[in-house]
Structure formats: C-alpha cells, structure tokens
C-alpha cells in the first residue's frame, strides 16, 4: 500500500474545502444562500415560514444532494 504524502493530504483538504464553499453558494434550502433567500422571502411577505415547511425543504435538499453524490460515485 502506498502512503499519501503530506502534499497530497493538503491538496485533498483544499479540494474538500472548495467543494463545501461551492455548495454553500447553491440557492437551495439548507445551504447558506438558500437560507438567505428564505429570509428575503419572509421579509417581503412580512410573515415567517412555517418551521415544518422549512424542515421539509431542508430534508428534501439533503436527499437530493445525497442521491446526486451517490450517482457520481457509482
């Protein structure tokens, strides 16, 4: 078995960090920009979203992203 060098480990860490940063820019509920958009909608409506609806949106986003990751892996 080949052991990874320090440079390879740092490169992998940088890649993972970049992916997390890009995912936060996706305007889906559950991600940073998605939460910002929900806040904008709430301020325009002057009425907060139901917490149950927010939870459903977040869980559906996690489900879609999980399916996407598994489809890329296999």
Tens digits of residue pLDDT in 22-59: 877 777 776 677 778 888 888 999 888 888 988 888 88
Which of 66, 50, 57 is closest to 30 using CA atoms? 57
Q: How confident is the model at residue 18 (pLDDT cuts 50, 70, 90)?
A: confident
Sign of CA dihedral 23, 14, 72, 59: negative
Q: Is the pTM of this model over 0.75?
A: no
In angstroms, the CA 54 to CA 74 distance is: 31
Q: Is the pLDDT of residue 14 over 80?
A: yes
Task: Work out the number of other CB atoms within 10 angstroms of the CB of residue 71.
Answer: 8
What does the pLDDT read at residue 71? Answer: 82
Model confidence at 1, pLDDT cuts 50, 70, 90, reads low
Please report the pLDDT score of residue 44 as a whole number: 92
């Amino acid at each position: 078995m080949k052991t990874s060098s320090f440079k390879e480990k740092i490169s992998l860490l940088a890649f993972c960090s970049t992916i997390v940063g890009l995912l936060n820019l996706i305007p889906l509920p559950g991600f940073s920009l998605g939460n910002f958009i929900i806040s904008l909608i709430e301020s325009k409506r002057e009425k907060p979203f139901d917490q149950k609806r927010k939870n459903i949106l977040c869980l559906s986003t996690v489900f879609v992203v999980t399916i996407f990751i598994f489809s890329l892996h296999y």
